[in-house]
Amino acid sequence: MKKLIFITLVLFGWHVSAQRTYVYGVVKDSLSNEKLIGAHIQNINAGSLTSTNEDGKFKLPARAGDTLVFSNVGHKTLAWIADSTWFNSEEIAFVLPLNTIYLDEVVVGEFPEYERFKELIIEEKVEDTTFQIFGVPKVVMDPYPQLEKSEYLNPIFMFFHPVSAIHHSVSRKEKEKRKMQHIRKTKYVTEKARLKFTREWVGENTKLEGDKLTSFIAYCNFSDAYLASSSEFAIYELMMDLLPKFLEQYEDS
């Protein structure tokens, strides 16, 4: 009986120690040091969310090791990993820098057509500096993360996210985003394919030159999707398998 009571007390003590206590903090602007009202703070591990009050203050349940993400309109989204010392302080100050993007100078002349204008926007490579977790390496984001039609019409997604599924189905803005994503994805795949299957690389491996090299590249007829998704070794093997057949046909012609 004594052993059972001891085990119960140990388990109860472990459960209590695992409980989250409150982090008390204030969110400020890095430049003006003014307190930010309505800034969002999310505990990713606990799935809890709160926002700062009229004094820029908040409280959120957390424990050491939890990741807290701070966001506010016009500021960079930052994240901190909760430290055990936070729970011994009355208030922790979190500072968010302004999210400023500097673009190269653009000389405006004749305004391009709508489709060309979209392409120019896509081609503008602006570094994504909106998210940073202190002490954690920078995460490389998916080059085209927009939901596909097959994803938001998936029965499981529709069951758990009915509002989002309807929004993605009827929203003109989301449809435009998907069109932009398709353009961006196509350009991404094409660029990746061209980097792998270059004329110089094919010539170096096959020892072909001039018109014979050009004809062989056309003979291979590899799609951009295949080149982008395949390893260089797999492309090399298939290319070398096609080479004898090409040379036989080329010499007979």
Distance CA 51, CA 72 (A): 10
Mean pLDDT (whole number) for 20-37: 90
More confident residue, 105 or 70: 70
Integer CA distances (angstroms), 228 to 16, 205, 225, 231, in order:
52, 19, 5, 8
Determine the Cα–Cα distance for residues 232 and 235; give it in Å rounded to an integer.
5
**Mean pLDDT for the chain overall:** 77
**pLDDT for residue 126:** 55
> Measuring CA to CA, which residue among 199, 186, 197, 179 is closest to residue 225?
186
Fold entry, domain 20-141: Immunoglobulin-like (2.60.40)
Q: What 3-state DSSP class applies to 15? A: helix
Residue with structure tokens 């009827």? 170
Domain ranges of the chain: 20-141, 149-191, 197-252
Residue at token pair 């409280």: 59
Per-residue pLDDT tens for 60-74? 999 888 899 999 988
Task: Return all residues near 170 (Cβ < 8 A) that are at least 6 apart.
Answer: none
| pLDDT: which is higher, 30 or 166 | 30
Contact yes or no for 206/243 (Cβ under 8 A):
yes
* Amino acid letter, residue 209: E
CB 198 within 8 A of CB 225: no
pLDDT of residue 94: 94
Q: What is the spatial distance between Cα 78 and Cα 83, in angstroms, rounded to a whole number?
A: 16
CA–CA separation, 12 vs 14, rounded Å?
A: 5
If one counts every other C-beta atom within 10 angstroms of the C-beta of residue 135, the result is 8
> Can you tell me whether residue 174 is helix, strand or coil?
helix
pLDDT digits (tens, 9 = 90+) for 217-226: 999 989 888 8
- Beta strand 57-62 with 21-29: parallel, antiparallel or unpaired? antiparallel
Q: Is the pLDDT of residue 167 over 90?
A: no
CA distance from start to end of the chain: 95
Q: Is 200 within 8 Å of 236 (Cβ atoms)?
A: no
CB count in 10 Å sphere of residue 41: 23
**DSSP secondary structure code for residue 27 in this structure:** E
